[in-house]
Each structure stands twice: as structure tokens, then as C-alpha cells.
């Protein structure tokens, strides 16, 4: 035994090692930079790149990376979220690599990724990936509170700025190419008394172009809060009306409305027949009242929770001025007022001698279309503001209606103070007042947006809360964001905003209250439609 102890002491003396714990060397720490992928965890993927890292070793001698410590905050779906992997992608002066440094066993608040990697002088590239089984519970989420690189004999290094984004699942309700559709666009979404989610959208069969084309209105139902969806059903298809082919009878741009008093679901859409497809309907529709002359305001309804739908109901003659070039619904959704009045947002294009921004002799006005007799007869308001389109409407606590409008002036003015136009009416659109926040509170890149209201309990009291969604950018349709107002639209504090997706897409969205504790959103990617759920507590708890 004594001889063994002597041999061990000789070994440590000759190799310069000690029986004591490794000492931390006083050498410059490597620099770590990070780049977050602001992208949801898509349901059709089982591998998600969430953060890229660069580790810069400025010393002549190599360093050894031995483990990565990661602390998370959130609600984890441990069955759907399988593991984290740290991938080594190579040296800036070497050959690109894709080797696994290490991975976790499962997902938890505190995670350790162990490995052993020699890092020479220069910049080394890494990717943090999440493995999933593709079926993650939609209300689960996580953010990276801290991530630390630990090296041999060197102080740990913290990765910067990772808690700025919350990673959450995203279900693709419709995917490009599905059911022989090239593109799905223009989402509308409501929740019925039974808790059923009803989504409507354009089925654009041939391409992504607007009308006139072969376009029908598709519908999907979910009876489990959006976790799964029934097969798509076409609910509005004008077929070969007038002996003309499908691509000359397109119907699109749906808006959906739920009457909770009669449990009737209404969908409004735009149809025109016989238009040359070389000229889009927006430009070719003219004065008149017939389908061959001008766009038609078409309704369908369901009285059985979306299972079956009525034949088309044409109300153009009730609400359109024959001198207008076009009248159509504001895509997204309508509302039912406290007194039972049904209200769709709408827009009309009229040649009234005012030059539009593109030089045309017309101007567009957002307005409302409404029924006070449960949908038997319909009326229309006056224009709220010129050069506005694609509005959404909510009722405020004083009974007035707030119209939130896409302002086409933003096509030429990209300043951050020229966002959504806001007007208010107290007499069903006969007269309008400019809201104090008009064109100043809500940034937009000239795009459709969504606005809903909900009566919720906040900080121990009941109050009306507004939720708004759009691409939160003043020039491109990226950064899909939900914003919350606790003062009925007078302010939209940044602390009550959640970014869902940093990617650029087509950008239209529609919100609904899935239940009193959950907000749901259906929005456009590029040819796909995405669905996500966010808890009310998360939106307003800050």
C-alpha cells in the first residue's frame, strides 16, 4: 500500500497535476454572442433551431468547453418537448461541421448539456436546437432565463439577451398544397357558446393572387380549443355561375360573425362574375348592381354550430350605392352588440372627385354594415375616413363603436407615427369622431389587423379589455404581435405586448377569446395559416 501511495505522488509531481480541485486560470474569457430565432415551434417539425451562438477564443492556446447550463421559465409540455441539443457548427476558418456537442435528457427548469470540445483560437459557431414530437400543447411555453458556458480552468461565460422572446407552439391549421390549394389566406375566427372554434379563409387553388381567380371560402372547426381541427369544408363556392368557369366566379375575403343570442354564425364574402383575370377585381369592379358589373356582398349562415351552411344570400341591393365602384366586408370578423345588433366592418370605393393615392379618381372609406333584426335586413353607415380599408370593430363600455382601420396613406408615409386610423361612432355609423390615438398609437406596415374586446376580471375588478394583433413593423409584414389595452384603446403599453413570430409573411390575423382565460389567434404565414393560444394572465400579468 505504501508503495502505491509513493507511485501516485511521483505521477502527480511529474505531470504537474495536483490532487486538489482544478484552479481557475486568470486568462481573458472568451466572448459569447447570441442570435435568437424569433420563430414559433411549428407543429409539422420535430427539430427547431432556437438560438445561434458564437464563442470567440482570442487566446493563442485552445480552451475546453465542457458543459452548458440552461435555466428556463414557463409551462413545459414534457411529453411534447423531448430534449435540447447543442450542435457544433464549426470554426470560422475551418470546414463547416454539424456535430452534436451534447444533449439533455428531457426538459426541465434547470438543464445541463455535457460534452468535451477543444476550441482553438478564433470564432466557433453553435446552434441550440429543441427536439419535439410535433404535438405540443398549445398553451405551453418557455423562455431562456439564463444560459452559461462552462470551460475547463476558466470562469463561466453567460450568453447575453436570451429572455427577450418566449418560445411557444404553433399549429398549422392549413398548409400550402393541402386539399389541392396553392395558398390559404384571409383568416377569420370566432368561438361559439359550445366552445367550438370556427375558422374561415380563402381557398386560393391556383396561386396566391387576389380575386378574380378560382377562390372559395373554406371553413375548419375545432371542438378542443384549437388543439386539433376537423377536415376543411368549403362553405361558399359560386361554381360556374352564368356559364363561366370557376376562375371567373371567385368568392373571397371572408368576415365571420357570431350571434350569441340566436347561436347563428354569419360569414360575409366578396363575389364577382365574369371579370377578366388579367385585371384584379379591386380595380375592375365598377358602378352598377349586377354580378357582371360590380362586386357582390354575399352572406351564408349556420344555425348548427358550423356543421351545415345555408346557400348564398346576396344583400348587395340592400346596402350598395349603384354609383360606387365596390362594396365589401372588412375581412376578419364582425360583432354582436349588447342590444343584439349584428355589425360587420366594411369598406366602399366611390368616385367622388377626390384623387386617391395612386392617382385614381376614387377614394375608399371604411364603414360598418349592420342588422337590427337578426339578419333579415341590412343597412350601411357613412364613411369613417378617406383612403381607409380593411377595418375591424369593437363595442366600448359606453356603447359606442370603435372602428380600427388600415390607412392606405401608409403606403407612401412609413413614419412610425402614421399607423392605424381610429374612429368612433355613437349612432351606428351615421356620424364619426376621430379617436385621440388615430394614426399614432398602433404601428403598421399597411396591412389588415385584428381587434377584439372582452369583459375580464383584472386586478380584482371587472373591466373591458381590448386585444389587437398585427405585424408590429412600419414597413414590412413581420413580427406578428398581440397587444393589450386596459383603458379601451387610449394606450397600448409595451409591457402588455407579446411577439409571436418574427418571420415575414402575408400578415393578416384574427383574434378570438377561446375561453375567458385564453386568447386565440389565426394568422397568415406565407401560404399557410397558423394558430396559437396565449393565456390572458401572460398578456396582462406584467
Burial 409-439 (b: 16+ CB within 10 A, else e): bbeeeeeeebbbbbbbbeebbeebeebebbb
Which of 41, 263, 80, 262 shows the shortest CA–CA distance to 168?
A: 41
**What pLDDT does residue 376 have?**
98
Distance, CA of 91 to CA of 106 (rounded, Å):
29
First to last CA, the chain: 65
Per DSSP bridges, beta strands 233-236 and 215-222 are antiparallel
For residue 164 the three cell numbers come to: 427577450
Distance, CA of 16 to CA of 27 (rounded, Å):
19
101: left (phi over 0), alpha (psi -120 to 50) or beta: alpha
- Residues with Cβ within 8 Å of 253's Cβ and at least 6 positions away in sequence, in order, are 186, 202, 211, 269, 270, 328, 329, 331
Counts of helices then strands in the chain (DSSP H, E) = 4, 36
Rg (CA), the chain: 28
Looking at domain 28-158, does it have CATH number 2.60.40.1290? Answer: yes
Catalytic annotation, residues: 390
pTM of the predicted structure, to 2 decimals: 0.92
Neighbour-count burial of 231, counting CB atoms closer than 10 A to its CB (0-12 exposed, 13-18 middle, 19+ buried): exposed
What ranges do the domains of the chain cover? 28-158, 169-540
> What is the CB-side half-sphere exposure of residue 122 using CA atoms within 13 A?
10
| Contact assessment for residue 153 and residue 133, using Cβ atoms and an 8 Å cutoff | no
- Residues with Cβ within 8 Å of 340's Cβ and at least 6 positions away in sequence, in order, are 259, 261, 372, 374
Phi, psi for 274 (deg, rounded to 5)? 90, 5
**What pLDDT does residue 357 have?**
55
- Residues with Cβ within 8 Å of 466's Cβ and at least 6 positions away in sequence, in order, are 394, 451, 452, 453, 484, 485, 488, 489
Q: Going residue by residue through the chain (542 aa), what tens digit of pLDDT does each one get?
A: 444 343 333 433 334 443 344 455 556 789 999 999 999 999 999 999 999 999 999 989 999 999 999 999 999 899 999 999 999 999 988 777 889 999 999 999 999 999 999 999 999 999 999 999 978 999 999 999 999 999 998 999 999 889 989 999 999 999 999 999 999 999 999 999 999 999 999 999 999 999 999 999 999 999 999 999 999 999 999 999 999 999 999 999 999 999 999 999 999 999 999 887 677 899 889 999 999 999 999 999 999 999 999 999 999 999 999 999 999 999 999 999 999 999 999 999 998 655 555 555 679 999 999 999 999 999 999 999 999 999 999 999 999 999 999 999 887 765 555 799 999 999 999 999 999 999 999 999 999 999 999 999 998 899 999 999 999 999 999 999 999 999 999 999 999 999 999 999 999 999 999 999 999 999 999 999 999 999 999 999 85
CA distances from 316 to 144, 250, 319, 400 (A): 53, 16, 6, 26
Chain centroid, CA 129 distance in Å: 22
DSSP string, 209-230: PPSSSSEEEEEEEESSTTSS-P
Looking at domain 169-540, does it have CATH number 2.120.10.30? Answer: no
**What pLDDT does residue 18 have?**
39
Amino acid at each position: 500500500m505504501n508503495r502505491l501511495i509513493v507511485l501516485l505522488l511521483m505521477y502527480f509531481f511529474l505531470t504537474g497535476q495536483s490532487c486538489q480541485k482544478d484552479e481557475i486560470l486568470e486568462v481573458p474569457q472568451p466572448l459569447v454572442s447570441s442570435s435568437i430565432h424569433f420563430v414559433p415551434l411549428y407543429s409539422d417539425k420535430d427539430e427547431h433551431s432556437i438560438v445561434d451562438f458564437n464563442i470567440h477564443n482570442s487566446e493563442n492556446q485552445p480552451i475546453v468547453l465542457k458543459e452548458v447550463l440552461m435555466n428556463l421559465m414557463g409551462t413545459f409540455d414534457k411529453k411534447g418537448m423531448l430534449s435540447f441539443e447543442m450542435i457544433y457548427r464549426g470554426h470560422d476558418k475551418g470546414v463547416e461541421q454539424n456535430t452534436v456537442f451534447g444533449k439533455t435528457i428531457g426538459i426541465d427548469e434547470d438543464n445541463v448539456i455535457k460534452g468535451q470540445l477543444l476550441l482553438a483560437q478564433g470564432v466557433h459557431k453553435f446552434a441550440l436546437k429543441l427536439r419535439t414530437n410535433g404535438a405540443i400543447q398549445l398553451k405551453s411555453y418557455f423562455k431562456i432565463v439564463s444560459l452559461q458556458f462552462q470551460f475547463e480552468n476558466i470562469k463561466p461565460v453567460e450568453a447575453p439577451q436570451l429572455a427577450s422572446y418566449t418560445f411557444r407552439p404553433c399549429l398549422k391549421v392549413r398548409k400550402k398544397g393541402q386539399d389541392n390549394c396553392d395558398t390559404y389566406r384571409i383568416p377569420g375566427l370566432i368561438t361559439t357558446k359550445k366552445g367550438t372554434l370556427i375558422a374561415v379563409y380563402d381557398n386560393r387553388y391556383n396561386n396566391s393572387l387576389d380575386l378574380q381567380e378560382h377562390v372559395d371560402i373554406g371553413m375548419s372547426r375545432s371542438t378542443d380549443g384549437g388543439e386539433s381541427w376537423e377536415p376543411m369544408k368549403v362553405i361558399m363556392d359560386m361554381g360556374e355561375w352564368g356559364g363561366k368557369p370557376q376562375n371567373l366566379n371567385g368568392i373571397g375575403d371572408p368576415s365571420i360573425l357570431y350571434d350569441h343570442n340566436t347561436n347563428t354564425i354569419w360569414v360575409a364574402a366578396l363575389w364577382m362574375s365574369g371579370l377578366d383575370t388579367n385585371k384584379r377585381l379591386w380595380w375592375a369592379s365598377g358602378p352598377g348592381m349586377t354580378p357582371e358589373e360590380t362586386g357582390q356582398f354575399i352572406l351564408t349562415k349556420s344555425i348548427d354550430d358550423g356543421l351545415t351552411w345555408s346557400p348564398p344570400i346576396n344583400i348587395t341591393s340592400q346596402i350598395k350605392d349603384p354609383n360606387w365602384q365596390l362594396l365589401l366586408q372588412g375581412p376578419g370578423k364582425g360583432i354582436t352588440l349588447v342590444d343584439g345588433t349584428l355589425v360587420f366592418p366594411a369598406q366602399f370605393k366611390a368616385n367622388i372627385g377626390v384623387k386617391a393615392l395612386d392617382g385614381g379618381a376614387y377614394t375608399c372609406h371604411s364603414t360598418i354594415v349592420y342588422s337590427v333584426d337578426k339578419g333579415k335586413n341590412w343597412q350601411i353607415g357613412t364613411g369613417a375616413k378617406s383612403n381607409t380599408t380593411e377595418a375591424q370593430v369593437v363595442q366600448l363600455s359606453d356603447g359606442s363603436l370603435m372602428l380600427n382601420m388600415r390607412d392606405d396613406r401608409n403606403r407612401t408615409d412609413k413614419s412610425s407615427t402614421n399607423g392605424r386610423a381610429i374612429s368612433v361612432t355613437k349612432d351606428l355609423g351615421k356620424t364619426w369622431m376621430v379617436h385621440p390615438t388615430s394614426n399614432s398609437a398602433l404601428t403598421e406596415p399597411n396591412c389588415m389587423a385584428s381587434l377584439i374586446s372582452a369583459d375580464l376580471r383584472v386586478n380584482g375588478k371587472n373591466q373591458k379589455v381590448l386585444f389587437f394583433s398585427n405585424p408590429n413593423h412600419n414597413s414590412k409584414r413581420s413580427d406578428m404581435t398581440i397587444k393589450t389595452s386596459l383603458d379601451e384603446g387610449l394606450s397600448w403599453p409595451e409591457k402588455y405586448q407579446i411577439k409571436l413570430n418574427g418571420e415575414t409573411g402575408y400578415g393578416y390575423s384574427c383574434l378570438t377569446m377561446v375561453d375567458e382565460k385564453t386568447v386565440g389567434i389565426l394568422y397568415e404565414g406565407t401560404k399557410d395559416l397558423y394558430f396559437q393560444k396565449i393565456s390572458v394572465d401572460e398578456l396582462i400579468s406584467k
